[in-house]
Amino acid sequence: MDNTTSDNLASSPLDRVRRSRAPRGQVVVVGQWRRDGATVTPVPYADAVRATGGSPIVLSTFKPPKEAPEDFEVVASLDPDDASLLEGAVGLVIPGGGDVDPDWYRAAERHPKSRNISHRRDRFEMTLLAAALERDLPVLAICHGMQALNVHLGGTLVQHLADDPKRLDHDLDTPRNRRVHGVRTKDKSLLADLLGSSATVNSHHHQGLDVVGEPLEEIAWADDGVLEGVMSTDHHWVVGVQWHPESLVAVDKGQENLFRSFIHATEEFRGRVDDEARSA
């Protein structure tokens, strides 16, 4: 997708696509996109939120989806620069997807292997991340989401990991629930508490973090040293992982623990907000 295709948002919404944008007490999952400018409903991510005790709502800057599960709330055609969209939310999930536009991190040029770039999606996610981090809202950033989080905080990306022949093949065409390489976690870190000292994860990315933005701390690495997990040292619960835990929740207790920890953080956030409201 080029940077203009998705700006054409004229479309009749599905009957069941909610037009309200007040996700009170819900976890926002950012909608993915199609090349024709329509929303892809991020079902595995929303399912994982629901399976671990959260109430998901999908917010998208793209046109309404061509189809969506009957029991999903999807709000489409949203302004990518509207920072008010997270009002009432208790958490934010930035899912996987295409590459982050290298213009965001001032790369000299776009790598020829770059794919599925949407500057509009990037703008939307940067807007939501800025609002979430300012509010200390719990954030779970997955694959592309971890990369977007890093770029938002001033970091940069390796545009194509396979340029280094010493690295593992991280861009594997395997089922999402197949675990293919090891991950080592930092001792006494949140991921070590949730996953143990090591885990085996799936892998579907060709880019990775290079310069790590502040205040992110490196807390997990693949067997070849590629960074696989980060967390913010300035927020209650902001975590990025490079693999796809949403596809492993049903088969891996550690990945379920990760989502449950996120949902627990959203409940704590809601408690803090309620306490502040009562004392105001």
Active centre residues (catalytic):
143, 244, 246
Contact 69, 43 (CB under 8 A): yes
Provide the pairing of β-strand 238-241 with 227-232.
antiparallel
Contact 103, 47 (CB under 8 A): no
* Closest to 231 measured CA to CA, from 145, 139, 151: 139
User: Could you tell me what percentage of the chain is helix, strand and coil, using 3-state DSSP and rounding each to the nearest 5?
Assistant: 30, 20, 50
Q: Which residues have C-beta within 8 Å of that of residue 236, sequence separation ≥ 6?
A: 136, 138, 265, 268, 269
- Cα of 45 vs its chain's centroid, Å: 9
Distance CA 265, CA 195 (A): 17
Q: How many CA atoms lie within 13 A of 186 on its CB side?
A: 11
Q: Which residues have C-beta within 8 Å of that of residue 235, sequence separation ≥ 6?
A: 133, 136, 139, 215
Report which DSSP code applies to 204.
Answer: B
Tokens 């596809």 locate to: 247
